[in-house]
Structure 1
Amino acid sequence: MKIIGIAASLHEGSFINRLLEAAGGELPEGVEFTVWPGLREIPPYEAGPVPASARELLRLLAAGDGVLMTAPEHSLLPAELMYALDWMSVRDGLSGKHVAVMSASARACGAMWAQAELYKQLQSAGAVVMGAELVISPACPHFDKDGHLTAPGLRDQVRAVIGQLCPAEVMEPALSL
């Protein structure tokens, strides 16, 4: 199984980028995880030749079994994420694809609003969407020096989202730790 990771942040080292990387480390053994780093380079959709950054995204999606996304820490989706969603939608890159979404915010409403907006966009593109809002303070230490999740409750929440994305037979070894 292959999962594609997409973080809705342009800020390297942001909480949700770190959360996506850490969530990739919670995937069961044997699941390949590739993070798409091209959000900053994605142009707005326009008819005609597909630009290289959009082509790379569409190629990754076609080769993947599912997508793990982190929504922004605030209620607005970045324009570049909207551009990526447009390319994925127009080219049927998300049609029938399972997409798990996690959003994290110090305030519940920020995560909830961002995730609701992202759900609408993903569902209109034909994705099968699942996920959870994680109300956690980005100011608290949730990661160890290697970027792994340290809080057991947060790990459980992340694994629950991953459990929605990965079939049960794939998840069993990781969840029985």
Structure 2
Amino acid sequence: MKIIGIAASLHAGSFINRLLEAAGGELPEGVDFAVWQGLGEIPPYAAGPVPASARELAGLVAAGDAVLMTAPEHSLLPAELTYALDWMSAHDGLSGKHVAVMSASARACGAMWAQAELYKQLQGAGAVVMGAELVISPTRRHFGEDGRLTDSDLRDQVRAVIGQLCPAEVMEPALSL
């Protein structure tokens, strides 16, 4: 099984980019994970030739079995993410694809609003959408020096989202630790 990761942030060190990378460390054995880094290169959708960045994304998503996305901590989606979804929607790149969305915010409604907007766009593109709004505490340490999740509650929540994408026979051995 192969999962494609897409973070809805253009900031390399953002919490949601780090969360997506850390989620890759929580995958069961035998599940491949590739994070797409080209969000900043996606132009607005326009009829005509498909730009290289949109072709790269479409090829990666088509080759994967599922997609794991992180929505921003605030209520607005970056324009580039909307462009990427527009390109994929126009070419049925998400039709029937299982997509899990994680969003984390210290503010009560930030994650909920961002995730709701992303769900709407993904469902409009034909994706099968699932996921969870993760509640984070700004007073707790979430990542270790190695980038892995240190907060056991957050790790359990991330594993539950991953479990929505992976078949049961893949999940059982890895998450029964």
Is TM-score (shorter-chain normalized) higher than 0.5? yes
Tell me by how many angstroms 1:139 deviates.
Answer: 6.0
Distance 1:114 1:103 in 2: 7
**Is 1:17 matched with 2:17?**
yes
Structure 2: which 5+ runs fail to align?
none
Aligned-residue identity in percent: 87
Superposition TM-score, scaled by structure 2 size: 0.98
Distance 2:95 2:23 in 1: 24
Distance 2:14 2:175 in 1: 27
Tell me by how many angstroms 1:137 deviates.
Answer: 3.4
Distance 1:89 1:137 in 2: 35
Contact 1:15 1:138 in 2 (8 A): no
Distance 1:153 1:54 in 2: 36
SS in 2 for 1:142: coil
Tell me by how many angstroms 1:133 deviates.
Answer: 0.3
Code of the aligned partner of 1:118: L
Tell me by how many angstroms 1:140 deviates.
Answer: 3.5
Q: How does 1:114-129 map to 2 (within 5 A)?
A: 114-129=114-129
Distance 1:38 1:162 in 2: 23
Q: How does 1:67-146 map to 2 (within 5 A)?
A: 67-138=67-138, 140-146=140-146
Match of 1:2 in 2: 2
SS in 2 for 1:6: strand
Please, which moves more after superposition, 81-90 or 136-145?
136-145
Tell me by how many angstroms 1:116 deviates.
Answer: 0.3
Deviations 1:89-135 (A, max 9, x none): 00111000000000011112000000000000000000000000011
Code of the aligned partner of 1:111: A
**Is 1:170 matched with 2:166?**
no
Code of the aligned partner of 1:162: I
- Large movers: runs of 4+ above 4 Å: none
SS in 2 for 1:95: coil
- Size of the aligned set, in residue pairs, is 177
SS in 1 for 2:49: coil
Question: Relative to structure 1, is the Cα distance of residues 170 and 129 closer, same or farther in structure 2, using a 3 angstrom cutoff?
Answer: same
Code of the aligned partner of 1:68: L
Superposition TM-score, scaled by structure 1 size: 0.98
